[in-house]
Amino acid sequence: MNSSKKPIKKILLLGNGGREHSIATFLKKSQKYEIELFGFFNMKNPKMIELCENFYITDEYNFGEKSNFAMLKKFAEISHLDFAIIGPDDPIAAGAADALLEIGIKSFAPTKKAAQLESSKGFTRSLLKEFDIEGNAEFQRFSSGEQEKLEKYCKNISHKFVIKDDGLCGGKGVFVQDDHFTTAEEGIEIAQKILEKSESLVIEEKLEGPEFSLMFLADGKTVKETPTIADHKRAFEGDNGPNTGGMGTISFPEKLPFITDENIAEAKKITEKVMNAIEEKTGEKFIGVMYGGFMRTQTGTKVIEYNARFGDPEALNFFSLLETDFVDICEHAIAQRLDEINISFSKKATVCKYLVPEGYPTQPVKGVEIYVDESKIGEDVNIFYASVYEDENGKLLLGGSRAIGLVGIDEDFETAREKVNKALECVTGPVFSRKDIGSKELLEKRMKESEDMR
Ligand code: AMP
Ligand code: GLY
């Protein structure tokens, strides 16, 4: 029953991680619309299910792309949707938005061709080159038949280099000289191993400098910037240990102190040009999130990579701050009218931390029960359920990836951090988090890296 007399919006949400739980939570808080959510999931995330009118749990690999999204289309068709939101990179790259378009449903997510921005590192480097967009790195693409050419190129290269698998590798396809290998010969060996499995790779110049990332909302005509948020990718305290999807993210009431206005302006200019180039190259407009990784080098802002989706955990901060109705943002983006909407964010600090299974990311415990006592979560803390599922007895089990995301929000950064640190105690079980995210020491370290560049 629509007792509130607000217009009803029927929205399909594909994905069931922390990013999608934050999207779902804030959609449901809409002041303007009565939201009916239709979840297309691959895990029975109990908190997301609570928010849904209907849901489908696919047993098909990666949300059904193997079957050409047959179930997704069937589920979407019976749900009489206004539009869809696709969260994760895999289904976006495989063409979930195209599949939905075939049955007349538009998505806040790019099509397969436009999403090559993330799904092919070589596509993006070549695009920047072809359209003469600033911020590119020296690079060369090699396919599996070009082993000899690759060897010659690496032996004659005059700068340090980075080897990147061309496709999506869940953050595991990048090898940086001095970090992952030392000599050109070692690099060649790694490259050859990649080419045994993948069709192509990119060898690119190693850039030096502090990194920053920025998410832009895009509709093919306009890009809109969003608050600056910094991720912490390493698994352990002090930025040590293996890379992860992101252990936690911070934002300040104003922009992050280690990112300048000039950095933001340069990143935006590059992103606008990239968005236009995508349409010229593929004939399709980029609708969704253009999430760029950049590096501040001695010769200006350079592109490290682009993602074609919300960052996770960045989305958890983003939605904790967003004041504009997200339905309006999605509908304006889908209609190429982002220029007509004013998007605002509250001027507060956010500190987000993920609780992850012991052993994460290399050997995470899975299928083990955790307990969440939400009564221990104080005010101004948001909780999002990620890689967790409910078994037939109602137990909450670890799925093996990042489990529970918590976001502390306050006018004052320190207080936001204290709030989230306290809230981490709400979970018991074999999980850990990074206590140092948001600490003075870590902030000072980032400030110093950034000042060294000036
Ligand atoms: P990516 O998956 O492309 O973001 O790469 C993962 C990490 O590898 C980045 O966050 C950087 O730290 C590093 N990286 C990637 N490309 C380069 C590059 N061209 N120069 C230096 N570091 C890089
Ligand atoms: N937090 C990094 C990512 O979503 O790729």
DSSP string covering 140-185, please?
EEEETT-HHHHHHHHHH-SS-EEEEESS--TT-SEEEBTTTB-SHH
Cα 313 to averaged position of ligand 1 atoms, centre (Å): 18
CB of 162 sitting under 6 A from ligand 1 = yes
Average pLDDT for 190-199? 91
pLDDT digits (tens, 9 = 90+) for 237-282: 999 999 899 999 999 999 998 899 999 999 999 999 999 999 999 9
3-state SS, residue 363: coil
User: Is 122 among the domain residues?
Assistant: no
Answer yes or no: do 365 and 229 share one domain: yes
Q: What percent of the chain has pLDDT over 70?
A: 98
Q: For the chain, what is the mean pLDDT?
A: 94
The reply to whether ligand 1 has any atom less than 6 angstroms from the CB of 171 is yes
Helix (H) or strand (E) holding 191: helix 184-197
Q: Is 207 in the pocket of ligand 1 (CB under 6 A)?
A: yes
Query: What pLDDT does 435 receive?
Result: 93
**Residue with tokens 């040590």, as numbered in its chain:** 240
The tokens 């934002």 sit on which residue? 251
Separation between Cα atoms, residue 194 and residue 381, nearest integer Å: 43
Residue 192, exposed/middle/buried by CB under 10 A (0-12, 13-18, 19+)?
middle
**Residue 309, pLDDT score:** 98
385 and 412 part of one domain: yes
Instruction: Specify the pLDDT at position 1.
Output: 56
Mutation choice for ligand 1 from 304, 307, 309, 314, CB with most ligand atoms inside 8 A = 304
The per-residue pLDDT for range 323-347, each reduced to its tens digit, is 999 999 999 999 999 999 999 999 9
Are 97 and 144 found together in one domain? no
Residue 92 lies inside a defined structural domain of this protein: yes
Which residue puts its alpha carbon closest to atom 2 of ligand 1? Answer: 171
Residue 20, C-beta contacts closer than 8 angstroms, at least 6 positions apart:
13, 14, 48, 87, 88
Task: Provide the residue range defining the domain that includes 36.
Answer: 10-109
Q: What is the CATH number of the domain that holds 99?
A: 3.40.50.20
Considering the domain architecture, whether residues 171 and 305 belong to the same structural domain is answered as no
Which residue CA neighbors atom 4 of ligand 1 most closely? 305
Which listed ligand is nearest to 243 at the C-alpha? 1
- 324 within some domain: yes
For residues 223 and 353, state if they share a domain.
yes
The CATH code of the domain that includes 166 is 3.30.1490.20
Q: Cβ neighbours of residue 3 under 8 Å, at least 6 residues apart?
A: none
Residue 317 lies in a domain: yes
Question: Which pLDDT score, from 0 to 100, does residue 67 have?
Answer: 73
Take atom 4 of ligand 2 and give the residue whose Cα is closest.
Answer: 311
Exposure b/e, 241-275, CB count within 10 A at least 16 = b: beebbbbbbbbbbebbebbbeebbebbbebbbbbb
> pLDDT tens digits for 2-11?
666 899 999 9
Index of the ligand 2 atom closest to the CA of residue 310: 4
Which is the closest atom of ligand 2 to the Cα of 313? 1
Measured from the CB, is residue 231 less than 6 Å from ligand 2?
Answer: yes
Q: How many domains does the chain have?
A: 3
CA-proximal residue: ligand 1, atom 19 (nearest): 206
Whether 123 is covered by a domain: the verdict is no
Pick the atom of ligand 2 nearest to 307's CA: 5
Ligand with an atom nearest the CA of residue 248: 2
User: pLDDT-derived band of residue 170, with 50, 70 and 90 as boundaries?
Assistant: confident
**Residues 56 and 85 grouped into a single domain:** yes
Tokens of 201: 């790779």
